[in-house]
Amino acid sequence: MGTAHQYGPEQIHRNQPPLPGNRLCAKVARSRTEYRRHLLRKDADVVNIVNLTIFLVILILPMVLTFWAIRDVAYGQFPTLQTKYIWLVVVTLLPVVGALIYLVAGRSQRREMPTS
């Protein structure tokens, strides 16, 4: 048995390194490098999903809260029209903070709409 048979494709499939003089040495090293790059790309995909989730929580959620507060003030009935306008200004000029203040203090000032 010669060295070509001893370090042939069978040895490569068993994750044993080929001899440096072998023709397949460069090919195996290249495929291992490509495999490592593939693993890094998979890790990058996971990081991108995490970044997207953080983006949604930090940016989109406060925007939804603010739009909900603006809609709630606009369609709600308040004791006076002036109170409604004050809440619209507060929620609009202080987007997230104004929405939270309205959620805590402003909703209790609303009157219930009469049901038909």
26 vs 54: which has the higher pLDDT:
54
Spans of all domains in the chain: 13-109
Q: What percent of the chain has a predicted confidence (pLDDT) above 70?
A: 63
Closest CA to 22 of 34, 35, 6: 6
pLDDT tens sequence across 102-114: 999 988 887 765 5
Has this prediction a pTM greater than 0.85?
no
The answer to whether 3 and 19 have CB atoms below 8 angstroms apart is: yes
At position 96, the amino acid (one-letter code) is V
pLDDT tens sequence across 5-50: 444 454 455 555 555 555 555 555 667 777 777 666 766 677 788 8
pLDDT score of 26: 55
99 burial via Cβ count (<10 Å: 0-12, 13-18, 19+) = buried
Q: Could you give the 3-state DSSP secondary structure of residue 111?
A: strand
DSSP E strands, the chain:
none
The Cα 29–Cα 111 span in angstroms is: 74
Beta-bridge partner residues of 77: 111
Beta-bridge partner residues of 111: 77
